[in-house]
Amino acid sequence: MTVIPILLAMIGCAALDRPHSVNGPTGALPTLAPSGASDGPRVLLAPVSIVRSGNDITLRGNFPDDSAKVALMKTLNRSLPPGINIIDHIQLNPNVVALDFFNAGPVFQDSAPIPDFTLTVNADTIRLTGTAGSQAQKAGIDNDAKRIWSNLDVIDQLTVNGAPSCADCTRPSTP
């Protein structure tokens, strides 16, 4: 009878020794339940924000270790044009699970011309905001994010420069 609790404790300890990021290159990480699913495992990601204001990008949030943080920094440095300043306010917390930015280059490359681009992560949701220069740019960023993080909810709140806001779209037209 005591074998089962010991076995469960060993499995739990082994799970705690795993890397704490989602969608990493190793593939040995926990998976998320599909959007809206109530069954299956669900990982709650640590809150992270990547906020661009002109030539400055401010990073805030928690990462489990330096390797997760380095993946984000390398991706940003490879994806953004020269002259962008990265302001790092990332905290290390080994008790969190963070979104993996290892393959996120296309999102940041497509959003590089957007001076007010923001990507936020909260639980199992990624939110994209900012002002895209065209509908094609907006669609490209949205498609990249949904492909890279297919097991998360991606909410695209990017607007297109010169396009009506959602509030304008829902107003009844006057004759």
Q: What is the mean pLDDT of residues 145-166?
A: 87
Q: What is the pLDDT of residue 144?
A: 97
Say how many C-beta atoms besides its own lie within 10 A of residue 104's C-beta. Answer: 23
pLDDT (tens digit, 9 = 90+) per residue, 79-94? 999 999 999 999 999 9
CA distance 137 to 128: 13
pTM, two decimals, is 0.71
- Can you give the pLDDT at residue 65? 95
Query: pLDDT tens digits, residue range 2-60?
Result: 434 443 344 444 444 444 444 444 333 333 333 344 455 667 999 999 999 999 999 99
Burial class (CB in 10 A: 0-12, 13-18, 19+), 141: buried
**pLDDT score for 68:** 95
Domains of the chain: 45-160 (3.40.1520.20)
In this predicted structure, the answer to whether residue 164 has a pLDDT above a threshold of 60 is: no
